[in-house]
Structure 1
Amino acid sequence: MLYKTKGIAISYIRFRETSIIAKIYTESFGIQSYIVNSVRSSKARGNKIALFQPLTLLDMVVYHKDKQASVHRISEMKCLVPFHSIPFEIAKSSIGLFLTEILGKTLKEEEQNEPLFDFLYQSILHLDNMEEGFENFHIQFMIYYASYLGFGIESMRELELELKQHHYPYLANRAQEDVVNMILQQIGYEKIPLDRIGRSSLLEKLIYFYKIHIEGIGELKSLDVLREVLR
């Protein structure tokens, strides 16, 4: 049966000679995998593989045979909102790759979750439209995103207490406490006073916090690149 839905490209792997299996977070069905044929062929029309680059916002018509199927197919697709900056600015593309890796390891539900989809969709658009002050975007994103995953952060003190209980080296930091509380009081992605050292330290704590609540996150390959770019 055919369904129309929006989607957010997460990742893809090669499948046979010219096809891919794409992982896409959809508005209607949650995280899903789709076989897409002939996108790596020299005879393919246009540059369809570009539609599956990380965080690309898609407008799709998909074929879902039944709920038990693990892989589905795409009937039609197009870019919903072309990016202005994420693929073209190294700092933003590095943030985008990090967010994509986090999403790939944490999006598990194969069912509709409109509040979560809308949060991700609006956050990606906001990052693409930001002209400055986005170097801490991923910190803010992870704090907001945790609440959609069911383990939201109430305050920095609560966060550090939980880290301490799980044997993370406890180092209270008043500056980070002020920043986290500021983020929690904000509605969106306003600029926050966090330098490179503070950003790296807080990010380590947030990643450890995620690992407490979600199994299988493991090593984040994009982390080293992110740290190198965001100096």
Structure 2
Amino acid sequence: MLVNTEAIILSALKYGEADLIVRAYTLESGVKTYMLRGILKSKKGKFKASLFQLLTQLEVVASHKDKGTLEYLKEAKVLHTYQSLHTNVLKSSMVMFLAEVLKNAIKEEEPNPALFQYLKFSLNWLDLHDSIANFHLLFLLKFTRYLGFQPDDSQADLPFFNLLDGVFQDINTNEYCVEGANVVLLRQFLSADFDTSQNIKLNQHSRTAFLNMLLLYYELHIEGFRKPKSLAVLNEIFN
């Protein structure tokens, strides 16, 4: 089936000497993986490798068999040109981290327009702003809404947050109940947007601790989710 759709690049892996295997999240068909043959050696080919940088927003025409196999890409063009996402060192490090999280977290080969629009809005915001130290923290927290395990903040005044059940509670009931500084920050981020989240003050230790808590939350709720390898690079950059 021939599909015309928007797509966001999640990964691009070199295969052999000249091929590229590209994984993308598409508006019309969810996660899709494409084999691009000869793209790394041919100067006159249909596609340039630069089209498939991490989190690039494309408009593509693709042939989808929808059988869980590698698909065929017929056309691709940049839908939105970033101003700084791939040239700013801080942002490019964050892009590596976010792309790895998205690749690990999104599995479905089915459309989710609300999630796709959230990703577009978030990436465009990141591209256009300079104060971004807390962006990835709020991004991960808001992302849980589309994955089905958004924290229940109906009792956010209670002292413990249960990572296993995603609720605030008044007593410690298991090893995944957290309290203290991380719970205070969780309350702040739950009521923030990308603009106001940059006003939340964190030092090196508190930012790392809160991020590790969020990643544990993901591990508990997404089967097979792994802590991103790019986390070390991100921590080094922001520390």
Give the structure-1-normalised TM-score: 0.89
Matches within 5 A, 1:1-231: 1-45=1-45, 48-64=48-64, 66-132=65-131, 134-155=132-153, 160-162=161-163, 167-168=175-176, 172-174=179-181, 176-190=182-196, 191=198, 192-231=200-239
Tell me, yes or no, if the aligned pair for 1:18 and 1:40 is still in contact at 8 Å: yes
Q: Which amino acid aligns with 1:172?
A: E
How far apart, CA to CA, are the structure 2 residues paired with 1:159 and 1:144?
A: 20
How far apart, CA to CA, are the structure 1 residues paired with 2:77 and 2:44?
A: 15
More helix per residue: 1
Aligned length: 227
How far apart, CA to CA, are the structure 2 residues paired with 1:209 and 1:44?
A: 46
Query: Using CA pairs below 8 Å that are at least 6 residues apart, which structure has the higher relative contact order?
Result: 1
Tell me, yes or no, if the aligned pair for 2:10 and 2:25 is still in contact at 8 Å: yes
How far apart, CA to CA, are the structure 1 residues paired with 2:133 and 2:161?
A: 23
Gaps of 5+ in 2: 165-171
What is the CA-CA distance between 1:103 and the residue it aligns to? 0.5
Give the structure-2-normalised TM-score: 0.87
What is the CA-CA distance between 1:89 and the residue it aligns to? 1.2
Gaps of 5+ in 1: none
How far apart, CA to CA, are the structure 2 residues paired with 1:106 and 1:183?
A: 21
Over residues 95-137 of structure 1, what are the superposed CA-to-partner deviations in whole Å (9 max), with x where a residue is unaligned?
11111110110110101100011101111111111122x1111
How far apart, CA to CA, are the structure 1 residues paired with 2:174 and 2:233?
A: 27
SS in 2 for 1:9: strand
Tell me, yes or no, if the aligned pair for 2:161 and 2:183 is still in contact at 8 Å: no
Going from structure 1 to structure 2, the CA distance change for 1:224 and 1:38 (only over 3 Å counts) comes to same
How far apart, CA to CA, are the structure 2 residues paired with 1:89 and 1:11?
A: 19
